[in-house]
Structure 1
Amino acid sequence: MNKEENKLNYLEEKQEELLFSGAFYATKGNEILEGSNGFANRSEKIVNQLNTRFAIASGCKIFTSVAICMLVEAGKISFKSRLKDCIDTEFPYFDKDITIHNLLTHTSGVHDYFNEEILDNFELLWKSRPMYHIRSPRDFLPMFQYERMQANINSSFQYNNAGYILLGLIVEHVAKCNFTEFVEEHIFHKAGMKSSGYFEIDRLPERTALGYIEDSEGTWKTNIYSLPVKGGPDGGAYVSVEDMFRFWQALTNHQLLSKKMTQTLLKPREVVVAEDNIYYGYCGYMELDDDKRVVKYIQMGYDPGVNFRAVYYPGTKTIIVVCSNESEGAYELLKEIENIL
């Protein structure tokens, strides 16, 4: 038995030990580790596979960022462009100087429809609002359009989902097309992500995992009443683990953006520090060493019945992707994969 087989056997045992439900794909050099566990559909006993499509929640904010960078590269907007000049919607209580840079880096201060520092359960949002009406970025507007700022512009980093809804609306206004269609055509298609898309939860295609939530009695329910029907700029796309690998390959090989714009996307923003050695940039979180060099880029996504983690190590070009169709498990399995790679 070779080293790769030993590692796969170890990860199979860990998946069972963690009661992990989902799939993973990891590559370092010529070494590939891949696997899956659990059920995409518990009732029908349909197992998760490598080509199963999983929801990734906020893990797809990077697609929104890449879409914005494409429009900047095309000369249609700039990172300094103000929100009010890029959109045809009024926000009477928002600061008039909010820029695309502010929205990308979570420093806009706009009211967040889901403030994760106050609410810890996304499911609670839909008790008073029909989640089945949320199918486009514009459908989120009643949740924050007429609210006052929650912080001053350019204040400290505060994770903000509404800011990414606004970025999606900018894409729609500037590109004159539906946001999800823009991402699917200009990012998924170019990257060879054939299994990925922004699917409606009441019209899921084949090979798509249902998300599962465990209740206090240890039984399981699907998350169909816990999420918007269709994801958008702040989260909710469906991908396979191999497709997310293809995305990082396409991005770092400059198939999506020029080399210069890719560097802009991946650059840490020193004014935006999430915690010690964890910075934020247009692409999301990243870990820096003491010399301020990027050790790894970090993607994460959490929703009821959704758990996603992915990392990219630029030094070794290591890519690890873990998707789960339950609320927990992806981070723990990713750490196991990191340890053996």
Structure 2
Amino acid sequence: MKNFFLSLLLTSFFCSLSAQEFKKKIDSIIQKEFSEINEPGGAFLIAKNGRILYEKAFGKSNLELNVNMTTENVFQIGSMTKQFTAVSILILEKQGKLNINDPISKFVPDYPSGNEITIRHLLTHTSGIKDFTKIKTISDIAQKEMTPKMMVNFFKDEPNDFKPGEKFEYNNSGYVLLGHIIELTSGTTYEDFIQKNIFEKIKMNNSYYASDRKIIKNRAYGYHKKKDGFVNKTIINFSVPFSSGSLMSTLEDMLKWQNALNQNQILDSVNLNKAFEKSKLNNGEEITYGFGWHIKEINGILTREHGGSVFGFKSMAVYIPSKDIYVIGFSNCDCHSPTEITKEIAKLTLQSL
């Protein structure tokens, strides 16, 4: 019996030692980019089987008030919003309100080439629609309150870059159109649809449709880095990125999202798994994008990845389905990118566990 307890004690000790070494390695990876304690920083989380293995914050969440970053801070997640938009479309498809193979002319009758462009094309960035972020006059509307219809009208008459399904080209306009279609088919606003069908359902209580006006507890403030130092982020009206990049969240809320997807709390696996399948072009060529996620690999092991970038913020998450490993990183300065760091952490975690 004495030997049994000694063995248990030694196992516990070495596991603890191993966990400490793992955390030190993760710290060293992050500190390559987030080493300055008096600059804007970031926050990172690693989970295995839905449970947190590592969670840590770096730098400042507010420079003016000299407030340290915490793991509870709320960040703008940028294009990671596209996951929520894509899943919302699949929810509506399950409800029978649309089909992903429907032409967009069914919802926006006057859209040019609308009979040729499908919801699937929008989801997979294969529509050929002009990305509104590349239109020269974008600065004219960046700070205006825009309705979804006004946003669609802003880019709809631009010439298409290519024929629908001909190639993959990352496209924010397609996801704005998807948000418009969500509103038209659900009879509610995009913000309310996400709130009711996702945030409230899985208790993402610290996630929001972004606002610079609302009082948001634990908000991390966004910054740019200039020659003379840091400045507050450029103001953009969130009705412009809309359903392509206007959500805010925390590390732990995003883990709730990932766990809810795994446990089919939002959609059954038959419908949800459509989002995780690689898409194909007209010529049969496979592309590494599903609906709202890049479908990639680390050392030959399948991953689902997506990042985000919006004025003052950057984000990145990697999920490894076969090992149920989730890694996510946020930054509150667009001068610091968590993208490669998050991928490196995912690789190390995969090798270590």
Cα displacement string for residues 52-84 of structure 1 (whole angstroms, at most 9, x for unaligned residues): 110111111010000000000011110111111
> Does the aligned pair in 2 maintain the 1:278–1:285 contact within 8 Å?
no
Relative to 1, partners in 2 of residues 1:138 and 1:97: Cα closer, same or farther, differing over 3 Å? same
Q: CA deviation at 1:139?
A: 4.0
| Equivalent residue in structure 2 for 1:32, among 33, 43, 53 | 53
> Does the aligned pair in 2 maintain the 1:137–1:233 contact within 8 Å?
no
> Does the aligned pair in 2 maintain the 1:278–1:288 contact within 8 Å?
no
Aligned to 1:323, what secondary structure does the other structure show?
Answer: strand
Q: CA deviation at 1:158?
A: 1.1
| Equivalent residue in structure 1 for 2:152, among 133, 141, 164 | 141
Which position in structure 2 is the counterpart of 1:83? 104
1:308 matched to 2:315: yes
1:222 matched to 2:205: no
| Equivalent residue in structure 1 for 2:62, among 34, 41, 53 | 41
1:102 matched to 2:121: yes
Q: CA deviation at 1:294?
A: 6.4
Aligned to 1:132, what secondary structure does the other structure show?
Answer: coil
> Does the aligned pair in 2 maintain the 1:252–1:262 contact within 8 Å?
no
Aligned to 1:307, what secondary structure does the other structure show?
Answer: strand
Q: Which moved more, 1:181-190 or 1:12-21?
A: 12-21
Relative to 1, partners in 2 of residues 1:228 and 1:170: Cα closer, same or farther, differing over 3 Å? same
| Equivalent residue in structure 1 for 2:294, among 285, 307, 310 | 285
Which position in structure 2 is the counterpart of 1:324? 331
Relative to 1, partners in 2 of residues 1:260 and 1:128: Cα closer, same or farther, differing over 3 Å? same
**Superposition pairs for residues 150-229 of structure 1, below 5 Å?**
150-215=161-226, 217-225=227-235, 227-229=236-238
1:60 matched to 2:81: yes
Q: CA deviation at 1:109?
A: 1.3
> Does the aligned pair in 1 maintain the 2:44–2:328 contact within 8 Å?
yes
Aligned to 1:245, what secondary structure does the other structure show?
Answer: helix
| Equivalent residue in structure 1 for 2:255, among 236, 245, 252 | 245
Aligned to 1:280, what secondary structure does the other structure show?
Answer: coil
**One-letter code aligned to 1:249:** N
Which position in structure 1 is the counterpart of 2:18? 3
Return the index of the structure with the highest Cα Rg: 2
**One-letter code aligned to 1:23:** A
| Equivalent residue in structure 2 for 1:334, among 336, 339, 342 | 342
State, as a whole percentage, how many aligned pairs show the same letter.
Answer: 24
Aligned residues: 325
> Does the aligned pair in 1 maintain the 2:29–2:345 contact within 8 Å?
no
**One-letter code aligned to 2:323:** T
Distance (Å, rounded) in 2 between the aligned partners of 1:200 and 1:272 = 39
Q: CA deviation at 1:333?
A: 2.5
> Does the aligned pair in 1 maintain the 2:126–2:165 contact within 8 Å?
yes
Distance (Å, rounded) in 2 between the aligned partners of 1:192 and 1:42 = 30
Q: CA deviation at 1:232?
A: 2.1
Cα displacement string for residues 100-159 of structure 1 (whole angstroms, at most 9, x for unaligned residues): 1111111111222124xxx8xxxx865433x33245433423420322222212211111
**Superposition pairs for residues 236-275 of structure 1, below 5 Å?**
236-271=246-281
Which position in structure 2 is the counterpart of 1:296? 303
| Equivalent residue in structure 2 for 1:112, among 116, 128, 131 | 131
Which position in structure 1 is the counterpart of 2:140? 128
Q: CA deviation at 1:173?
A: 0.3
Which position in structure 1 is the counterpart of 2:8? none
Distance (Å, rounded) in 1 between the aligned partners of 2:199 and 2:52 = 25
Aligned to 2:196, what secondary structure does the other structure show?
Answer: helix
What is the root-mean-square deviation in Å for CA atoms of aligned residues?
2.5
Relative to 1, partners in 2 of residues 1:206 and 1:317: Cα closer, same or farther, differing over 3 Å? same
Q: CA deviation at 1:6?
A: 2.6
> Does the aligned pair in 2 maintain the 1:278–1:287 contact within 8 Å?
no
Aligned to 2:224, what secondary structure does the other structure show?
Answer: strand
Which position in structure 1 is the counterpart of 2:243? 233
> Does the aligned pair in 2 maintain the 1:57–1:236 contact within 8 Å?
yes
TM-score, length-normalised on structure 2? Answer: 0.84
**Structure 1: stretches of 5+ with no match in the other structure:** none
Relative to 1, partners in 2 of residues 1:223 and 1:33: Cα closer, same or farther, differing over 3 Å? same
Cα displacement string for residues 203-228 of structure 1 (whole angstroms, at most 9, x for unaligned residues): 3412111111101x141112142x33
